[in-house]
Every structure is written in structure tokens, then in C-alpha cells.
């Protein structure tokens, strides 16, 4: 599974993307988020941000959305373009 981070999250975690192999019981965005927090203290801190957005294969996704091994899952702060 490919995980990508943007903006403040990318800076705090220190990488823009990483390939991960979560255990098979990780099946939703919320579970993935919790599992990713265990990767490092930086992950734990960055991924505990109050407002976080997620996307699966470049479409916005909620915490309950299903994730699978060949997905690209992105986490980022609320957007500020325009």
C-alpha cells in the first residue's frame, strides 16, 4: 500500500511517501491511521492532528472507507489553495 503525505504532515513525518504492508485486519482509513501512528513518534504526533483529510486513489475518503493493499492512500491537512 502506498501512503502519501502533504504539507505540514509531510514535513513532520519527514517523508512524502512510503510503501507499507499493514496486517490484513486493517481494512478502513481509521484503522490504517491508527496503525500508521505506531510507525514512529513523528507519525503518532502528525497523524493525531485535530483536522485531517484523507483520500483513496485521489478521491476524498472518510474514516470508514475501505482500504486495500493496492490503494494509494493520502493524508493531509485541510486544503488552503486559491
Partner 1 sequence: MDAVRLLVAAEDFDPGQEIERLSSGEGQSGAVATFLGLVRGAADGVSAMTLEHYPGMTEKRIAAIVEEARSRWALERVTVIHRVGRLLPGERIVFVGVAGRHRAESLAACEFLIDWLKTRAPFWKMEETAQGERWVEAREEDDKRADRWNRTPL
Please report, as ranges, the residues that interact with partner 1 according to CB under 8 A.
4, 6-8, 10, 51, 55, 58-60, 74, 76-82
Of 23 and 81, which has the nearer Cβ to partner 1?
A: 81
Query: Closest distance between partner 1 and the C-beta of residue 25, in Å?
Result: 28
Q: Please give the grid coordinates belonging to residue 25.
A: 485486519
Closer residue to partner 1 in complex, CB, 24/58: 58
**Between 59 and 70, CB nearer to partner 1:** 59
Shortest distance, position 50 Cβ to partner 1, whole Å: 11
What is the full DSSP assignment across 21-68? ---TT--BHHHHHHHHHTT-HHHHHHTT-SS-EEEETTEEE-TT-B--
Amino acid at each position: 500500500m502506498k501512503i502519501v503525505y502533504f504539507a505540514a504532515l509531510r514535513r513532520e513525518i519527514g517523508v512524502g511517501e512510503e510503501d507499507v504492508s499493514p496486517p490484513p485486519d486493517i481494512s478502513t482509513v481509521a484503522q490504517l491511521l491508527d496503525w500508521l501512528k505506531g510507525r514512529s513518534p513523528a507519525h503518532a504526533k502528525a497523524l493525531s492532528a485535530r483536522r485531517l483529510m484523507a483520500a483513496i486513489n485521489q478521491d476524498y475518503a472518510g474514516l470508514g472507507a475501505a482500504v486495500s493493499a493496492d490503494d494509494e492512500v493520502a493524508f493531509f491537512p485541510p486544503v488552503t489553495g486559491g
